[in-house]
Amino acid sequence: MSAIQIIPLNWYVTLSAILFGMGVLGVLFRRNAIIILMCIELMLNAVNLLLVAFSAQHSDPNAQVFVFFIMAVAAAEVAVGLAILMMIYRNSKTTDIDFLNRLKW
């Protein structure tokens, strides 16, 4: 029985929930676009953790395949997101989303 299986499942669930909640709150309340991006990553990783934990608990490797997919997609998403943020910063010298409100009606 590996170490990961010794820890009860509840703990993983709780930890994931906390991480996910932090991510949501960060996305909702922080104003720096980079931090928002990081919070999104946090949410994704909370889900990853949950998937891996259940996978280990049930000895079912399927969930790990999902995790790899999520990581790959997240990497791509971050690459694009950061590139966009770079361009925004170069043009407007800010990453504060409250100032980036010109794209409207």
Partner 1 sequence: MIQLAWLIPLLPLIGFLIIGFGGKKLSKNLVGLVGCGSVLAAFAISLGIFFQLHGTSQVVRLTDWINTGKLQVDFSFTIDPLSVLFMLIITGIGFLIHVYSTGYMHEDEKYDRFFAYLNLFVFFMLLLVMGSNYIVMFVGWEGVGLCSYLLIGFWFKNTEYNNAAKKAFIVNRIGDLGFLLGMILIYTTCHSLSFDKVFSHVHSKAGDLGVLNLIGILLFIGACGKSAQIPLYTWLPDAMAGPTPVSALIHAATMVTAGVYMIARSSVIFVNAPAASELVAVIGLLTLLFAATIGLFQNDIKKVLAYSTVSQLGYMFLGLGVGAFTGGVFHVMTHAFFKACLFLCAGSVIHAMSGEQDIRRMGGLKKYLPITHLTFLIATLAISGIPPFAGFFSKDEILAHVYEHNKIYWLLGVVGSMLTAFYMFRLYFLTFHGKFRGTHEQQHHLHESPKSMTIPLVVLAVLSVVGGLVGIPNGNYHLLHAFLRPSFSVAELAANWNDDATSFGSEEARLMIIAVLAACAAIYFAYMLYRKNNVLPTENEKDMSKYQRVVYHKYYVDEIYNAIIRKPLDWISGMLYKFFELRVVDGFVNGIGSAVKWTGGVIRYAQSGNIGFYMFAMTIAIIIMLLVKLF
CA-CA distance, 26 to 46, in Å (whole number)? Answer: 14
With CB under 8 A as the contact rule, the residue among 36, 42, 50, 51 that binds partner 1 is: 36
91 binds partner 1 (CB under 8 A): no
With CB under 8 A as the contact rule, the residue among 14, 21, 31, 60 that binds partner 1 is: 31
59 binds partner 1 (CB under 8 A): no
With CB under 8 A as the contact rule, the residue among 28, 90, 91, 93 that binds partner 1 is: 28
How deeply is 87 buried, as exposed, middle or buried, from its count of CB atoms within 10 A (0-12, 13-18, 19+)?
exposed
Region near partner 1 per CB under 8 A, out of 4-12, 29-37, 51-59, 60-68: 29-37
CA-CA distance, 79 to 73, in Å (whole number)? Answer: 10
Contacts of 94 (CB under 8 A, 6+ apart): 88, 100
- Smallest gap, in angstroms, from Cβ of residue 16 to partner 1? 16
